[in-house]
């Protein structure tokens, strides 16, 4: 495992799924981690799980779609730890909807959390990241690179995150700031159930994922977190502007 001792890492969406796995992994690696989520209860549980780890984990209940909370998140990290070395943006939502029936509210909600919050937190964190020559890892999706029916707004939001990652990587390279993204396939988290999928439907969805992913299964949050940690580490210091698939081969397949 890479050594992140003395480094400060912000992780959004840190109370569950990929965000939680990343927050734990960075803390294990010695980082000072600010774990951000709207769920106080799950954040408290995460803090308990990280007791005894090499690093230090602090929690902050905040809504990344709220500008005041976004500013508070950056200010808290700088105030507690002196600056920011890594920004990991794992907060996100999904919902069903087609070009015919997606409502304005569904569209706006999806863009607000999956895209707008990513853009604004990047902007707000940049003064500290630039000073420390830090880096950003955005959590995108296989839907950012491939089209899927029935989740229109989600696909569009993640495709936009990919392009935001690439464009900002070019612009920030002269300042020594790297920007990358990970593009997971289906990962076993609460994302789909939070988006309205029933337990029964989700079980069928995971079973079907054995067929849609060439490696024969859905992924685990820890497998994505491992890639996030690598991209944030010094071993990846010559990598920027990458949207990196970690999807059991899903992006290589045709629709089925």
Residue 208 lies in a domain: no
Number of Cα atoms under 13 Å in the Cβ half of residue 223: 16
Residue 158 is assigned to a structural domain of this protein:
yes
| Calpha distance 227→68 (Å, rounded) | 31
The 10 Å Cβ neighbour count of residue 255 is 8
Q: Which of 4, 26, 81, 154 is catalytic?
A: 154
In angstroms, the Cα distances linking 230 to 41, 58, 187, 238 are: 29, 22, 19, 12
CA neighbor of 63 nearest in space, from 52, 53, 55, 73: 73
DSSP 66: S
With a CB cutoff of 8 Å and minimum separation 6, the contacts of 173 are 240, 241
Domain count for the chain, please give it: 1
Residue numbers of the domain that contains 58 = 8-192+220-243
Residue 201 within a domain: no
Overall size of the chain counted in residues? 256
Asked if residue 198 belongs to a domain, the reply is no
CATH of the domain at 61: 3.40.50.720
Residue 249 lies in a domain: no
SS3 184: strand
For residue 19, tell me if it sits in a domain: yes
pTM for the predicted model, two decimal places:
0.94
Residue 167 inside a domain? The answer is: yes
| pLDDT number for residue 113 | 96
- Which residues are CB-neighbours of 79 under 8 A, at least 6 positions away? none
**Tens place of pLDDT per residue across the chain (256 aa):** 689 999 999 999 999 999 999 999 999 999 999 999 998 999 999 999 999 999 999 999 999 999 999 999 999 999 999 999 999 999 999 899 999 999 999 999 999 999 999 999 999 999 999 999 999 999 999 999 999 999 999 999 999 999 999 999 999 999 999 999 999 998 987 777 777 778 888 788 788 889 889 999 988 999 999 999 999 999 999 999 999 999 999 999 976 6
> Tokens for 13?
């969406």
Cα separation, 181 vs 121, whole angstroms: 15
Alpha helices (H) along the chain? 17-28, 40-49, 67-81, 104-111, 117-132, 152-172, 191-194, 199-212, 221-232
Beta carbons of 137 and 89 less than 8 angstroms apart: yes
Burial of 75 (0-12, 13-18, 19+ CB in 10 A): exposed
Which one, of 103, 111, 9, lies nearest residue 65 by Cα?
A: 111
Active site residue 244: no
Residue 114 lies in a domain: yes
């Amino acid at each position: 495992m890479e050594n992140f001792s003395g480094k400060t890492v912000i992780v959004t969406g840190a109370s569950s799924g990929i965000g939680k796995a990343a927050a734990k992994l960075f803390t294990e690696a010695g980082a000072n981690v600010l774990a951000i989520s709207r769920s106080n209860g799950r954040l408290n549980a995460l803090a308990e799980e990280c007791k005894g780890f090499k690093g230090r984990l602090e929690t902050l209940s905040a809504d990344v779609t709220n500008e005041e909370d976004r500013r508070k998140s950056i200010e808290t990290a700088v105030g507690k730890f002196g600056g920011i070395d890594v920004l990991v943006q794992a907060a996100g939502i999904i919902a069903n909807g087609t070009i015919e029936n997606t409502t304005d509210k569904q569209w706006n909600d999806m863009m607000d959390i999956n895209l707008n919050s990513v853009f604004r937190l990047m902007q707000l964190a940049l003064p500290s990241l630039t000073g420390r020559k830090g880096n950003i890892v955005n959590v995108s999706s296989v839907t950012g690179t491939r089209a899927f029916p029935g989740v229109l707004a989600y696909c569009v939001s993640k495709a936009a995150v990919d392009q935001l990652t690439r464009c900002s990587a070019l612009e920030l390279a002269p300042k020594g700031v790297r920007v990358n993204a990970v593009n997971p396939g289906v990962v076993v988290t609460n994302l789909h159930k939070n988006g309205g999928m029933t337990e029964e439907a989700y079980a069928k969805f995971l079973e079907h994922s054995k067929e849609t992913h060439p490696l024969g299964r859905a992924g685990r949050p820890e497998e994505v977190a491992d890639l996030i940690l690598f991209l944030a580490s010094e071993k990846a210091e010559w990598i920027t502007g990458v949207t990196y698939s970690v999807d059991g081969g899903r992006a290589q397949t045709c629709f089925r």
